Structures are given as C-alpha cells and as structure tokens.
A and B are shown apart, each in its own frame.
Chain A
C-alpha cells in the first residue's frame, strides 16, 4: 500500500542554519507529493507541492524536488528563522480522489 516515511524529530537548529527534512514514499503509479506545515495551535497549511517527477516545489524559501528514482521528496531551506519553528508533514496523493497519506511529522525548533 501507499506510505510515507519522514525522519524522526525533533530537529533543533540555530537561526540561519541549513535545514533538511528527509521524506521517502512508497506508492503505486505516479503520486502527487506535498509538504504541509503546522504552526503551534493551528491546523495544517500547504507549504509546497510537486505533481510529477523532477518537479521542484518552492515557497517561503523552502524547496523540495520530486525524485522518482529514489522515491524521495526531501524538504530544504538554506537559512531557517525562529518563525519556521513548526511541525512539517510530508504527504502523498494518488491521482484517484482526494485522499492524502501523511508521514508522522517532524517537529522543527529554531533557536535564536
């Protein structure tokens, strides 16, 4: 079946450090891939997405590239800020209906 695996958290970084959160997936066919972000006390918001192999999603300085050969969609940011502290979820959707499969989430804490 479909599944998403993320690196374990929590991840603690200093401000301006480089961020990578690993995400790999198992799916049949050609899924769409997403990163959602959950700020403290809030619901999830779509951060970025990619719909086909080699697509790069980007938003707010975050990037992720859809790598079909390694079934990965790693999230990166060159210089994190304290305001990036949140929980990040990788997710996939097969192009049948709207159901998402989420990873377990990775908590990021950025210290000044």
Chain B
C-alpha cells in the first residue's frame, strides 16, 4: 500500500498562472481533505469530500476549487495563483465509519510545497 500520495512535490508558479495538485489514496477511504500549512497557523482545511462526486468548503476555500470524480483521487485547483497561496499543501484521507474505538484517523500525504512569485 502506498497510502496517500501527492504530486507534484514542489512547484513554483508566477502570479496568475493555474495548476492542479493531485492526491491519490489506495485505502478505499470515503473522506478526503485538502489542507494548507503556514508558519504559526497550523493546518487549515481548504475543501473536503465525503464521497465520490461530492465536495464541500472548509475554513479557507477562496481561490481554490476541487473535484472528486473518482473515489481514490481528490484534485485541488488554483485558477489564478496569488502570492498569498504560497504554502505547503497536504492531502489526507479517512474512513467514514467508526471501527470499535477508532475515531476516523486521518492519513496524510507527504505534502506539496508551492511558491507563487
């Protein structure tokens, strides 16, 4: 099992350019999430999905779009990148049911470091 994988690992964009970050998981998880991590602010939820074909806004959704066309993939898009979107982006996934004593552990990918100049 590869767990949660993210591509690319690093990217530099110019202001106004667009890009898509890809997240893939092989654990058959229903829930998937995109976070951004900024110094001193912990992780903040951008968008999430509770199943194939569904998405919802998190805490900081502005400037991002997402799609979940297949259960194993969750795409994060930046249509017109801005310097404020310079960050490290993490994808995570979790199951939707509670196994005995297991409260929906989230599994994280290794992250994508994005710089917007």
* A residues in contact (CB < 8 Å) with B: 4, 32, 36, 41-46, 49, 51, 89, 93, 95, 97-100, 102-105
Q: Which of B62-70, B71-79, B101-109 contacts A (4 or more CB under 8 A)?
A: B101-109
A-B contact count (CB 8 A): 56
> A36: which B residues are within 8 A, CB to CB?
108
Please list the residues of chain B having a beta carbon within 8 angstroms of any beta carbon in chain A: 4, 31, 33, 40-45, 48, 50, 58, 90, 92, 94, 96, 101, 103-106, 108-111
B108 and A43 within 8 A (CB): yes
| Chain B min CB distance to A108 (Å) | 15
Closest Cβ neighbor of B3 among chain A residues = A43
Q: In the complex, what residues of B have CB within 8 A of residue A41's CB?
A: 110
Contact A102 B43 (CB under 8 A): yes
Q: Is the CB of B106 within 8 A of A43?
A: no
Least distance between A29 CB and chain B CB atoms (Å): 13
Of the candidates A42, A51, A99, the one whose C-beta lies within 8 Å of that of B101 is A51
Q: Which residue of A lies closest to B35 (CB)?
A: A102
Rounded to whole angstroms, the CA-CA distance of A97 and B104 in the bound complex is 8
Inter-chain contact A49/B103, CB cutoff 8 Å: yes
B41 touches A43 (CB 8 A): no
Contact A95 B42 (CB under 8 A): no
A51→B106 contact, CB < 8 A = no
The contact of B42 among A42, A46, A98, A102, by CB within 8 Å, is A102
